[in-house]
Chain A
Amino acid sequence: MGRIVLNKVSKSFGDTEVIPPLDLTIEDGEFTVFVGPSGCGKSTLLRLIAGLEDVTAGTIEIDGKDATQVSPAKRGLAMVFQSYALYPHMTVRKNISFPLRMAKLDKAEQDRRVERAASVLNLTDYLDRRPGQLSGGQRQRVAIGRAIVREPAAFLFDEPLSNLDAALRVGMRLEISELHERLKTTMIYVTHDQVEAMTMADRIVVLRAGHIEQVGSPLELYHTPRNLFVAGFIGSPKMNFIAGKEAEKHGAHTVGIRPEHIMVTEKKGSWAGVVGVSEHLGSDTFLHVHETGLADTITVRAGGEVGFRHGDRIHLTPRDDVIHKFDTGGLRSE
């Protein structure tokens, strides 16, 4: 069981307020991702939940009980750190069983849980090695193993994949999602990578400068971003923003159009432009179009077989039904 409720939680370091008062409820069993650019306070928020930092004001409830003053050891949460934070002087087995030893579980139960975690994570062959003898991915799995044996109320992940190379990252992403499906335990996952957020989360919390910009499922954020920041942050390549006359036509201060919602044609279209760099990914082609008179660059996601070259004159047509409109304050208007 792990329902976590943050009530008017705020955090200041000295005179600087990194998190202004904030309310958030994380439902039991939910996979919640905190995402935002670096310095947005997402890691601090996680550390507040973990109890590694004190809240300046407000309360944190875990499973209906006020945990604000409870030490991290007693909150019943498990954390996976960015650097994995494995104990270098202990074997994998000792690392994984450490929380169980601290909880004074009997030896047989410890062994049983360690064996089970090791088999789930494919670590059985490595139980007697030390962290220094493992690869990055294996270390990551040991860190996860150490977290799951405690059967915690919730898992906290602090950018756990950022030290892995790209291929491993995709693999571990799937493993963690798989783990969540199996355990159905609350997970809070911090990342700056919106792809990780989109692919893993049940619910995403977008943070900027300590503020919650929007909370919602990945598709909610994609389809109905609440403001310009979320619109620009979620989705890759980034949404195109157009202000001025073209926006006024739609009755908005700014309109946003995702690159995948623009059609490219050789002749005839709403807007004319010149192709700059085009990035061929095989499945898709990202065209950077200039001289449209709308914005510096309009990014377009076209099919993989499009054959435009640098300097070609082309025409663009946005899909009218998926144009996002924002008012002068940058908020979604509809």
Chain B
Amino acid sequence: MAKSFTNQRMIINTVVAWGIGLLIFFPILWTILTSFKTEAQAINDPPLFLGFDWTLENYSIVQERSDYMRFLMNSVIIAGGSTLLGIVIAIPAAWSMAFVPSRRTKDILLWMLSTKMLPAVGVLYPIYLLFIKFGLLDTRLGLVIVMMLINLPIIVWMLYTYFREIPVEILEAARMDGASLREELIYVLTPMAIPGIASTVLLNFILAWNEAFWTLNLTAAKAAPLTAFIASYSSPEGLFYAKLSAASTMAIAPILILGWFSQKQLVRGLTFGAVK
């Protein structure tokens, strides 16, 4: 009796949850499906779900016509470079605050967070101007720097919350064992914090990859990443659904995969440790 009741509830839960899950996921699924259609099939009336001739031609067209690989490289360099640079700057800072806290630590942390809340549009022109002045406009270097700066508070915060879980005694043991500060960071703290550092890298890579205000406003042709590449489809000519879908699929696929690995860390990173 009780067992069949739970079974019944399991079935209802499963059906409802899967239904809603698929509904939410549907736009992504539809985009992936459409990327394998011809342009004519893509706008077929009625819409074709699975009964179409699967083709890969859109992918090759996208690459040929718009040099997709270049945008992809820009995205990888901007997201990867800014994340790595941020990590290198953030590890010492997070070490300081987690293991040698002072009365000002909390204020510094909150202040760092507050820089993240600065609306980008409020400082758009100054940054634009500075970029022109220093020749950074439409360069990868410029975007690496900006992306590093906007994500640095999150990186410091995430590392800080991970570091705080490491008992300070272990670092003290290293100190007693004759390790210098540098050796303490390299041989003890960093390897122990690898899982935390990895999730921080992952989340920030995703955030930088998807950032679409600075990338749209500070790049033109040379340094434009995938966000800008996709935006160029907003005023296209001719039939383009299948190509848009192929381009979109290529732009989101890597991140979808990375994102699945980082679900848990996402919460901690985006709520600054306030929800765990």
Q: List chain A positions with a Cβ less than 8 A from chain B.
A: 50-52, 71-74, 77-79, 81-83, 85-89, 98-99, 102-103, 146, 150, 156
Shortest beta-carbon distance, A259 to chain B, in Å?
38
Q: Is the interface of B mostly helix, strand, loop or mixed?
A: helix
B169–A103 CB distance below 8 A: no
A103–B176 CB distance below 8 A: no
> In the complex, which residues of chain A have a beta carbon less than 8 angstroms from the beta carbon of B62?
none
A150–B177 CB distance below 8 A: yes
> In the complex, which residues of chain A have a beta carbon less than 8 angstroms from the beta carbon of B173?
79, 81, 85-87, 146
Kindly state whether residue B167 has any CB partner on chain A within 8 Å.
yes
Complex: how many Å from CA A139 to CA B169? 15
> In the complex, which residues of chain B have a beta carbon less than 8 angstroms from the beta carbon of A73?
175-180
Shortest beta-carbon distance, A96 to chain B, in Å?
10
Kindly state whether residue B254 has any CB partner on chain A within 8 Å.
no
Residues A77 and B176 in contact in the complex (CB < 8 Å), given A87-B188, A87-B192: yes
Complex: how many Å from CA A103 to CA B75? 44
Residue of A nearest to B190 (CB): A89
Mark contacts of B182-196 with chain A using CB atoms, 8 A cut-off: 1 yes-contact digit, 0 otherwise. Answer: 010001100110100
B177–A102 CB distance below 8 A: yes
Shortest beta-carbon distance, A132 to chain B, in Å?
12
Residues A89 and B192 in contact in the complex (CB < 8 Å), given A99-B177, A103-B178: yes
Question: Interface residues of B, CB < 8 Å — how many?
Answer: 18
A72–B175 CB distance below 8 A: yes
Residue of A nearest to B194 (CB): A89
Kindly state whether residue B172 has any CB partner on chain A within 8 Å.
yes
Residue of B nearest to A71 (CB): B175
Residue of B nearest to A99 (CB): B177
Kindly state whether residue B85 has any CB partner on chain A within 8 Å.
no
Shortest beta-carbon distance, B181 to chain A, in Å?
9
The 10 closest A-B pairs by CB, nearest first: A99-B177, A85-B173, A102-B178, A85-B169, A79-B176, A73-B178, A89-B191, A85-B170, A72-B175, A81-B169
> In the complex, which residues of chain B have a beta carbon less than 8 angstroms from the beta carbon of A72?
172, 175-176
Query: Given contacts A73-B178, A83-B167, A88-B192, could you give 10 more A-B pairs where the C-beta distance is less than 8 Å?
Result: A73-B176, A78-B177, A81-B172, A82-B169, A85-B172, A85-B173, A87-B173, A87-B174, A99-B177, A146-B177
Complex: how many Å from CA A82 to CA B188? 19
Shortest beta-carbon distance, A95 to chain B, in Å?
9
Shortest beta-carbon distance, A2 to chain B, in Å?
14
Shortest beta-carbon distance, B163 to chain A, in Å?
14
> In the complex, which residues of chain B have a beta carbon less than 8 angstroms from the beta carbon of A85?
167, 169-170, 172-173
Complex: how many Å from CA A88 to CA B188? 9
Shortest beta-carbon distance, A108 to chain B, in Å?
19
Shortest beta-carbon distance, B168 to chain A, in Å?
9
Shortest beta-carbon distance, A140 to chain B, in Å?
13
> In the complex, which residues of chain B have a beta carbon less than 8 angstroms from the beta carbon of A82?
169
> In the complex, which residues of chain B have a beta carbon less than 8 angstroms from the beta carbon of A79?
172-173, 176
Complex: how many Å from CA A78 to CA B178? 9
> In the complex, which residues of chain B have a beta carbon less than 8 angstroms from the beta carbon of A102?
177-180, 183
Complex: how many Å from CA A72 to CA B184? 13
Complex: how many Å from CA A102 to CA B170? 15
Complex: how many Å from CA A79 to CA B178? 11
Shortest beta-carbon distance, B119 to chain A, in Å?
39
Complex: how many Å from CA A87 to CA B175? 12
Shortest beta-carbon distance, B102 to chain A, in Å?
11
Residue of A nearest to B192 (CB): A89
> In the complex, which residues of chain A have a beta carbon less than 8 angstroms from the beta carbon of B167?
83, 85
